[in-house]
Structure 1
Amino acid sequence: MTTITSRRVVHTDVAAAAAVFLDWSQDPRWRSQVRRMTVDVPGPARKGQQIVEELRFAGMTFVTPTRIEHAEQTSARWRGGSGAVTVSGTRTASADATGSVTLVASVDVALRGPLRPLTALLAPMYRQQQERDLDNLVALLTGVALA
């Protein structure tokens, strides 16, 4: 299992940031490799919420059922998996006294079955993708277009 944690600081309201960051139905707006995200029922993360993510990564398509295990207004913990991958992680949006919000996305990922040996090989690519995705999220939240 590989853990990947990324952080970004954005000058915005924590509620506005959490409204996008903690609503998995919004992921296709900022996670470029997400092809489809089915959320039962769409909206902010809440305990027991069921999610099915279709992600295109490293030339492969992964369809991963996921469930929200714990949710608060500014954080959520999730876990999922399929025959090809096991994932879990957290998302947190925390405000500071300057009016900035720190967004933290952490994911534990392990490929399974015949793909298992590729986990360590693909981890750096996944880390880069997560970093780009958080850049996309910051751009979305601030209205700044990325080049």
Structure 2
Amino acid sequence: MIELREDGEIACPATLVWAIVADYGQDPRWRKGVKTMAPRPEGIVQVGTTTAEVMRFAGRTYRNGGEVIQVELGRSFAWRTTSGIDAEGGRLVESLGEERCRFTFHVRVTPRVTSEKSLEPALRWLLRWSIRADIRRLACLCAS
């Protein structure tokens, strides 16, 4: 199992960051490798929101279904996959003042096949690197 929790400070109000990270339709703008993300319903997540994601990671294309299982409006939500990779996680936005916040991205992935399990250390490193880069892209998007 690969479990990561990465965070970063963003020089923007928490409400702005939440508006982006809680709207799955925005994911292709800041998550590299996400080719499409189709949430139903569109807009800010709510319990029961479903997603259809096509993403490219480590040279492979993944098609994942997901659902939002918990929401604390304006602050956090939790999700899990329903098809594709076996994963769960969450996103959290914490205000650090009027113009700053901390964004935390949490993910737990359980490789299913032996070949992926043997590559866990490399996949962990790649995923950590990717998430950190995504947080930097999010910070740039919010600032623009």
In structure 1, C-alpha distance between the alignment counterparts of 2:141 and 2:123, rounded to whole Å: 27
Matches within 5 A, 1:1-147: 1-72=1-72, 73-83=74-84, 85-97=85-97, 99-117=99-117, 118-143=119-144
2: distance between equivalents of 1:113 and 1:100?
41
CA RMSD of aligned residues (A): 1.4
Retained in 1: the 8 A contact 2:94–2:103? Answer: yes
- Structure 1 CA distance, aligned partners of 2:61 and 2:97? 42
Q: Report Cα offsets for 1:25-53 as digits up to 9, x if no partner.
A: 10000011001101111111110000111
Find the aligned partners of 1:14 and 1:2 in 2 and give their Cα distance: 28
Alpha-carbon distance between aligned partners in 1 of 2:26 and 2:81, rounded to the nearest angstrom: 18
Q: How many residues align?
A: 142
CA contact (8 A) 1:110 1:116 kept: no
Q: Is the 8 A contact 2:9 2:103 kept in 1?
A: yes
Unaligned runs of 5+ in 1: none
The letter of the residue matching 1:61 is T
When the two structures are superposed, what TM-score results if normalisation uses the length of structure 1? 0.90
Instruction: Give runs of ≥4 in structure 1 deviating > 4 Å.
Output: none
TM-score normalised by structure 2 residue count: 0.92
SS of residue paired to 1:78: strand
Identity of aligned residues (%): 25
What is the alpha-carbon distance in structure 2 between the residues aligned to residue 48 and residue 71 of structure 1? 10
**Any unmatched runs of 5+ in structure 2?**
none
1:61-83 deviation line (CA, Å, top 9, x unaligned): 11110100011222100000435
